Protein backbone atom coordinates (compact mmCIF):
# COMPACT_ATOMS: atom_id res chain seq x y z
CA UNK A 1 0.00 0.00 0.00
CA UNK A 2 1.39 3.37 -1.00
CA UNK A 3 1.79 5.68 1.97
CA UNK A 4 0.34 9.19 2.00
CA UNK A 5 3.15 11.72 2.10
CA UNK A 6 2.45 14.40 4.70
CA UNK A 7 4.31 17.37 6.14
CA UNK A 8 3.61 19.54 9.16
CA UNK A 9 3.97 23.30 8.90
CA UNK A 10 4.41 24.83 12.33
CA UNK A 11 5.63 22.51 15.07
CA UNK A 12 5.08 24.52 18.20
CA UNK A 13 3.03 23.20 21.11
CA UNK A 14 0.25 21.65 19.00
CA UNK A 15 2.11 21.08 15.75
CA UNK A 16 4.61 18.71 17.35
CA UNK A 17 1.71 16.45 18.34
CA UNK A 18 0.50 16.45 14.73
CA UNK A 19 3.96 15.28 13.70
CA UNK A 20 4.01 12.55 16.35
CA UNK A 21 0.59 11.20 15.35
CA UNK A 22 1.55 11.10 11.67
CA UNK A 23 4.84 9.38 12.55
CA UNK A 24 2.87 6.63 14.31
CA UNK A 25 0.37 6.15 11.48
CA UNK A 26 1.40 3.19 9.26
CA UNK A 27 -0.47 4.73 6.30
CA UNK A 28 1.60 7.91 6.44
CA UNK A 29 5.12 8.87 5.45
CA UNK A 30 6.00 11.93 7.52
CA UNK A 31 8.18 13.63 4.92
CA UNK A 32 9.20 16.58 7.05
CA UNK A 33 8.35 19.42 9.39
CA UNK A 34 8.83 23.15 8.94
CA UNK A 35 8.88 25.96 11.48
CA UNK A 36 9.87 29.60 11.64
CA UNK A 37 12.30 28.57 14.40
CA UNK A 38 14.90 26.30 12.75
CA UNK A 39 16.02 24.91 16.11
CA UNK A 40 12.46 23.93 16.96
CA UNK A 41 11.98 22.27 13.57
CA UNK A 42 15.24 20.36 14.02
CA UNK A 43 14.26 19.14 17.50
CA UNK A 44 10.85 17.84 16.38
CA UNK A 45 12.32 16.34 13.21
CA UNK A 46 14.93 14.46 15.22
CA UNK A 47 12.29 13.05 17.57
CA UNK A 48 10.01 12.03 14.69
CA UNK A 49 12.88 10.69 12.56
CA UNK A 50 12.12 12.99 9.65
CA UNK A 51 13.58 16.05 7.90
CA UNK A 52 13.51 19.64 9.12
CA UNK A 53 12.74 22.41 6.60
CA UNK A 54 13.54 26.09 7.13
CA UNK A 55 11.15 27.06 4.32
CA UNK A 56 7.78 25.31 4.27
CA UNK A 57 7.40 25.94 0.53
CA UNK A 58 10.38 23.66 -0.09
CA UNK A 59 8.46 20.92 1.71
CA UNK A 60 5.47 21.21 -0.62
CA UNK A 61 7.23 19.64 -3.60
CA UNK A 62 7.59 16.38 -1.67
CA UNK A 63 4.16 15.86 -0.07
CA UNK A 64 0.55 15.05 -0.92
CA UNK A 65 -0.94 16.89 2.08
CA UNK A 66 -0.01 19.10 5.01
CA UNK A 67 -1.11 20.04 8.49
CA UNK A 68 -0.98 23.81 8.92
CA UNK A 69 -0.43 24.59 12.61
CA UNK A 70 0.94 28.13 12.48
CA UNK A 71 -0.41 31.15 14.43
CA UNK A 72 -3.99 32.03 13.44
CA UNK A 73 -2.90 35.28 11.78
CA UNK A 74 -0.89 33.21 9.27
CA UNK A 75 -3.52 30.54 8.53
CA UNK A 76 -4.81 32.16 5.36
CA UNK A 77 -1.40 33.02 3.91
CA UNK A 78 0.11 29.57 4.48
CA UNK A 79 -2.97 27.50 3.61
CA UNK A 80 -3.44 29.54 0.42
CA UNK A 81 0.08 28.74 -0.76
CA UNK A 82 -0.48 25.05 -0.01
CA UNK A 83 -3.80 24.87 -1.85
CA UNK A 84 -2.38 26.70 -4.87
CA UNK A 85 0.41 24.12 -4.88
CA UNK A 86 -2.26 21.41 -5.20
CA UNK A 87 -1.94 20.04 -1.66
CA UNK A 88 -4.70 18.83 0.66
CA UNK A 89 -4.77 20.84 3.88
CA UNK A 90 -5.55 20.08 7.50
CA UNK A 91 -5.92 23.58 8.94
CA UNK A 92 -6.09 24.19 12.66
CA UNK A 93 -8.95 26.20 14.12
CA UNK A 94 -10.02 28.95 13.86
CA UNK A 95 -9.57 28.50 10.13
CA UNK A 96 -8.83 32.19 9.45
CA UNK A 97 -9.15 35.61 11.06
CA UNK A 98 -11.75 36.94 8.60
CA UNK A 99 -14.66 35.55 6.61
CA UNK A 100 -13.15 36.87 3.37
CA UNK A 101 -10.05 34.80 4.03
CA UNK A 102 -12.20 31.75 4.77
CA UNK A 103 -14.16 32.25 1.56
CA UNK A 104 -10.92 32.50 -0.40
CA UNK A 105 -9.63 29.19 0.95
CA UNK A 106 -12.94 27.43 0.35
CA UNK A 107 -12.99 28.68 -3.26
CA UNK A 108 -9.40 27.57 -3.85
CA UNK A 109 -10.11 24.11 -2.41
CA UNK A 110 -13.19 23.77 -4.62
CA UNK A 111 -11.39 24.94 -7.73
CA UNK A 112 -8.47 22.60 -7.20
CA UNK A 113 -10.62 19.73 -5.89
CA UNK A 114 -8.50 19.70 -2.74
CA UNK A 115 -9.40 18.50 0.74
CA UNK A 116 -9.71 21.39 3.21
CA UNK A 117 -10.33 20.11 6.73
CA UNK A 118 -10.54 22.38 9.79
CA UNK A 119 -9.22 21.23 13.15
CA UNK A 120 -12.26 21.35 15.39
CA UNK A 121 -10.89 18.50 17.46
CA UNK A 122 -13.84 18.22 19.85
CA UNK A 123 -15.85 16.68 16.99
CA UNK A 124 -13.57 13.68 17.48
CA UNK A 125 -13.84 13.55 21.25
CA UNK A 126 -15.11 9.98 21.76
CA UNK A 127 -17.77 11.17 24.22
CA UNK A 128 -19.15 13.53 21.56
CA UNK A 129 -19.09 10.74 18.98
CA UNK A 130 -20.95 8.49 21.42
CA UNK A 131 -23.50 11.23 22.09
CA UNK A 132 -24.67 11.31 18.47
CA UNK A 133 -26.78 8.16 18.74
CA UNK A 134 -28.65 9.58 21.75
CA UNK A 135 -29.62 12.93 20.22
CA UNK A 136 -33.29 13.37 19.38
CA UNK A 137 -34.67 16.90 19.74
CA UNK A 138 -32.36 19.12 21.82
CA UNK A 139 -34.29 21.92 23.51
CA UNK A 140 -31.66 23.39 25.83
CA UNK A 141 -27.86 23.10 25.67
CA UNK A 142 -25.44 24.32 28.31
CA UNK A 143 -21.69 24.42 27.75
CA UNK A 144 -18.82 25.41 30.04
CA UNK A 145 -15.21 25.59 28.85
CA UNK A 146 -13.13 27.01 31.69
CA UNK A 147 -9.33 26.93 31.46
CA UNK A 148 -6.42 27.80 33.70
CA UNK A 149 -4.60 30.88 32.42
CA UNK A 150 -1.69 30.08 30.08
CA UNK A 151 0.52 32.53 28.18
CA UNK A 152 -0.28 30.69 24.93
CA UNK A 153 -2.88 31.46 22.28
CA UNK A 154 -3.26 34.99 23.62
CA UNK A 155 -2.98 36.46 20.13
CA UNK A 156 -6.70 35.81 19.70
CA UNK A 157 -9.86 36.56 21.65
CA UNK A 158 -11.11 33.81 24.00
CA UNK A 159 -14.14 33.42 21.71
CA UNK A 160 -11.83 32.40 18.83
CA UNK A 161 -9.44 30.53 21.09
CA UNK A 162 -11.93 28.45 23.11
CA UNK A 163 -15.60 29.16 22.48
CA UNK A 164 -15.34 28.37 18.78
CA UNK A 165 -15.08 24.68 19.75
CA UNK A 166 -18.44 24.86 21.49
CA UNK A 167 -20.00 26.94 18.74
CA UNK A 168 -19.06 24.25 16.23
CA UNK A 169 -20.41 21.45 18.43
CA UNK A 170 -23.70 23.25 19.09
CA UNK A 171 -24.20 24.09 15.41
CA UNK A 172 -23.61 20.44 14.52
CA UNK A 173 -26.18 19.34 17.12
CA UNK A 174 -28.97 21.85 16.48
CA UNK A 175 -28.76 22.19 12.68
CA UNK A 176 -31.00 25.27 12.63
CA UNK A 177 -30.34 28.96 11.85
CA UNK A 178 -29.72 31.28 14.79
CA UNK A 179 -32.66 33.61 15.42
CA UNK A 180 -31.03 35.80 18.09
CA UNK A 181 -28.12 36.03 20.47
CA UNK A 182 -27.27 37.85 23.69
CA UNK A 183 -23.62 38.27 24.64
CA UNK A 184 -21.42 39.53 27.45
CA UNK A 185 -17.65 39.42 27.83
CA UNK A 186 -14.67 41.29 29.17
CA UNK A 187 -10.87 41.38 29.35
CA UNK A 188 -9.27 40.50 32.67
CA UNK A 189 -5.60 39.62 32.18
CA UNK A 190 -5.12 40.51 28.51
CA UNK A 191 -6.23 43.23 26.11
CA UNK A 192 -8.75 40.93 24.46
CA UNK A 193 -11.80 39.19 25.91
CA UNK A 194 -10.81 36.61 28.55
CA UNK A 195 -14.26 35.55 29.73
CA UNK A 196 -17.45 35.46 27.67
CA UNK A 197 -20.99 34.15 27.60
CA UNK A 198 -23.51 33.89 24.80
CA UNK A 199 -27.11 32.74 24.74
CA UNK A 200 -28.11 31.53 21.28
CA UNK A 201 -31.78 31.17 20.36
CA UNK A 202 -32.36 29.03 17.28
CA UNK A 203 -35.25 29.21 14.84
CA UNK A 204 -36.35 25.68 15.78
CA UNK A 205 -36.83 26.77 19.40
CA UNK A 206 -33.62 25.36 20.89
CA UNK A 207 -31.60 27.55 23.26
CA UNK A 208 -27.87 27.19 23.90
CA UNK A 209 -25.97 28.89 26.71
CA UNK A 210 -22.16 28.93 26.22
CA UNK A 211 -19.61 30.16 28.76
CA UNK A 212 -15.84 30.29 28.29
CA UNK A 213 -13.00 31.59 30.42
CA UNK A 214 -9.21 31.34 30.31
CA UNK A 215 -8.58 32.78 33.80
CA UNK A 216 -9.77 29.98 36.05
CA UNK A 217 -7.98 28.02 38.78
CA UNK A 218 -9.35 24.77 37.32
CA UNK A 219 -10.00 23.22 33.92
CA UNK A 220 -13.65 22.38 33.20
CA UNK A 221 -14.98 21.26 29.82
CA UNK A 222 -18.56 20.08 30.00
CA UNK A 223 -21.65 19.96 27.83
CA UNK A 224 -25.23 19.22 28.86
CA UNK A 225 -28.08 18.57 26.44
CA UNK A 226 -31.71 18.50 27.56
CA UNK A 227 -34.33 16.97 25.29
CA UNK A 228 -37.71 15.22 25.67
CA UNK A 229 -37.29 12.09 27.82
CA UNK A 230 -33.52 12.30 28.22
CA UNK A 231 -30.64 14.35 29.57
CA UNK A 232 -27.09 13.97 28.21
CA UNK A 233 -23.99 15.09 30.10
CA UNK A 234 -20.55 15.10 28.45
CA UNK A 235 -17.24 15.64 30.21
CA UNK A 236 -14.75 16.39 27.44
CA UNK A 237 -11.70 15.99 29.64
CA UNK A 238 -12.75 12.64 31.09
CA UNK A 239 -14.09 11.54 27.66
CA UNK A 240 -17.22 10.50 29.49
CA UNK A 241 -20.92 10.64 28.66
CA UNK A 242 -23.83 10.09 31.02
CA UNK A 243 -27.28 9.41 29.62
CA UNK A 244 -30.23 9.85 31.99
CA UNK A 245 -33.72 8.67 31.03
CA UNK A 246 -36.95 8.07 32.94
CA UNK A 247 -36.95 4.58 34.41
CA UNK A 248 -39.87 2.28 35.07
CA UNK A 249 -41.83 2.71 38.28
CA UNK A 250 -41.34 4.99 41.28
CA UNK A 251 -38.70 5.15 44.00
CA UNK A 252 -39.28 5.04 47.77
CA UNK A 253 -40.31 8.70 47.70
CA UNK A 254 -42.84 8.09 44.94
CA UNK A 255 -40.65 9.95 42.49
CA UNK A 256 -40.03 8.62 38.96
CA UNK A 257 -36.98 6.40 38.86
CA UNK A 258 -34.06 7.30 36.64
CA UNK A 259 -32.13 5.08 34.28
CA UNK A 260 -28.52 6.30 34.37
CA UNK A 261 -25.82 4.94 32.06
CA UNK A 262 -22.27 6.33 32.08
CA UNK A 263 -19.69 5.40 29.45
CA UNK A 264 -16.01 6.39 29.46
CA UNK A 265 -13.60 6.34 26.51
CA UNK A 266 -10.27 7.35 28.03
CA UNK A 267 -8.35 4.96 25.78
CA UNK A 268 -9.31 6.91 22.64
CA UNK A 269 -7.22 9.86 21.40
CA UNK A 270 -9.19 12.66 19.71
CA UNK A 271 -6.23 14.14 17.81
CA UNK A 272 -5.19 10.73 16.56
CA UNK A 273 -8.75 10.05 15.37
CA UNK A 274 -8.97 13.49 13.72
CA UNK A 275 -5.71 13.06 11.80
CA UNK A 276 -6.54 9.49 10.80
CA UNK A 277 -9.80 10.82 9.39
CA UNK A 278 -7.88 13.49 7.48
CA UNK A 279 -5.61 10.82 5.99
CA UNK A 280 -8.69 8.76 5.05
CA UNK A 281 -10.27 11.80 3.38
CA UNK A 282 -7.06 12.42 1.43
CA UNK A 283 -6.81 8.80 0.31
CA UNK A 284 -10.52 8.27 -0.47
CA UNK A 285 -11.27 11.85 -1.65
CA UNK A 286 -14.17 12.09 0.81
CA UNK A 287 -15.66 15.25 2.29
CA UNK A 288 -14.40 16.02 5.81
CA UNK A 289 -16.75 16.05 8.78
CA UNK A 290 -15.50 19.60 9.39
CA UNK A 291 -14.73 21.05 5.98
CA UNK A 292 -13.96 24.66 5.24
CA UNK A 293 -17.69 25.40 5.13
CA UNK A 294 -18.27 24.15 8.67
CA UNK A 295 -15.17 26.01 9.79
CA UNK A 296 -16.49 29.20 8.20
CA UNK A 297 -19.90 28.80 9.81
CA UNK A 298 -18.37 28.56 13.29
CA UNK A 299 -16.09 31.50 12.51
CA UNK A 300 -19.02 33.66 11.38
CA UNK A 301 -20.90 33.05 14.63
CA UNK A 302 -17.74 33.66 16.69
CA UNK A 303 -17.12 36.95 14.93
CA UNK A 304 -20.70 38.09 15.50
CA UNK A 305 -20.32 37.28 19.20
CA UNK A 306 -17.07 39.25 19.39
CA UNK A 307 -18.63 42.22 17.59
CA UNK A 308 -21.55 42.32 20.02
CA UNK A 309 -19.25 42.05 23.05
CA UNK A 310 -17.27 44.99 21.66
CA UNK A 311 -20.46 47.02 21.15
CA UNK A 312 -21.57 46.27 24.71
CA UNK A 313 -18.20 47.39 26.08
CA UNK A 314 -18.27 50.60 24.04
CA UNK A 315 -21.70 51.41 25.48
CA UNK A 316 -20.53 50.92 29.07
CA UNK A 317 -17.08 52.56 29.29
CA UNK A 318 -17.46 53.06 33.06
CA UNK A 319 -17.40 49.28 33.48
CA UNK A 320 -14.67 48.35 31.03
CA UNK A 321 -12.19 51.24 31.37
CA UNK A 322 -12.09 51.54 35.11
Global pTM value: 0.92
Reported as a single tens digit per residue, the pLDDT across 126-179 is 999 999 999 999 999 999 999 988 766 566 789 998 999 999 999 999 999 999
pLDDT bucket at 319, cuts 50 / 70 / 90: low
Q: Where in the chain is the domain with CATH 3.40.50.720?
A: 4-121+271-290
pLDDT at residue 32 is higher than 70: yes
Is the pLDDT reported for residue 321 higher than 70?
A: no
Q: What is the pLDDT of residue 284?
A: 97
End-to-end CA distance of the chain: 64
Report pLDDT for 81.
Answer: 98
The predicted pLDDT at position 35 comes to 97
Superfamily of domain 123-268+302-315, CATH level 4: Dihydrodipicolinate Reductase; domain 2 (3.30.360.10)
Segment 36-79, tens digit of pLDDT:
999 999 999 999 999 999 999 999 999 999 999 999 999 999 99
What pLDDT does residue 248 have? 78
Task: For residues 54 and 215, give the distance between their C-alpha atoms in angstroms, rounded to a whole number.
Answer: 35
Packing angle of the helix pair 164-174, 292-315 (nearest 10 deg): 120
Which of 119, 5, 120 has the alpha carbon at shortest distance from 68? 119
pLDDT at residue 93 in the model: 95
Tell me the C-alpha to C-alpha distance, in Å, between residue 217 and each of 122, 135, 148, 214. Answer: 22, 32, 5, 9
Closest CA to 117 of 168, 153, 156, 157: 168
CA proximity to 177, closest of 204, 150, 152:
204
CB-count exposure of residue 48 (10 Å: 0-12, 13-18, 19+)? buried
| Residue 55 Rama label (left phi>0; alpha psi -120 to 50; beta) | beta
Which CATH architecture describes the domain 4-121+271-290?
3-Layer(aba) Sandwich (3.40)
Say if residue 307 is exposed, middle or buried (CB neighbours under 10 Å; 0-12, 13-18, 19+).
exposed
pLDDT > 90? residue 282: yes
What is the predicted pLDDT for the residue at 190? Answer: 79
DSSP β-bridge partners for residue 185 = 196
Domain(s) of CATH 3.30.360.10: residues in the chain:
123-268+302-315
Percent of the chain with pLDDT over 90: 83
What's the confidence (pLDDT) of residue 9?
98
| pLDDT tier at 288, thresholds 50, 70, 90 | very high
Q: What is the pLDDT of residue 247?
A: 79
Q: How confident is the model at residue 246 (pLDDT cuts 50, 70, 90)?
A: confident
- pLDDT at site 155: 62
Give the pLDDT confidence score for residue 258 in this predicted structure. 85
- pLDDT value at position 149? 82
- Which tops the pLDDT comparison, 257 or 275? 275
Amino acid sequence: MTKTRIGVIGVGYLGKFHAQKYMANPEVELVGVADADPANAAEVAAFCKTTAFDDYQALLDQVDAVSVVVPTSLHHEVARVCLLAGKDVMLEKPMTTTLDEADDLIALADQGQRILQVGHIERYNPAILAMEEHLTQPLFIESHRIHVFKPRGLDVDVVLDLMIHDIDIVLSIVKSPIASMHTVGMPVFTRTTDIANVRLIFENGCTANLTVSRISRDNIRRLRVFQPNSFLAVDYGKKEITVIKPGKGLDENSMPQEEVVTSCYLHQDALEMELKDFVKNVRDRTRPKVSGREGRLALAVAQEIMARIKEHAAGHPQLFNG
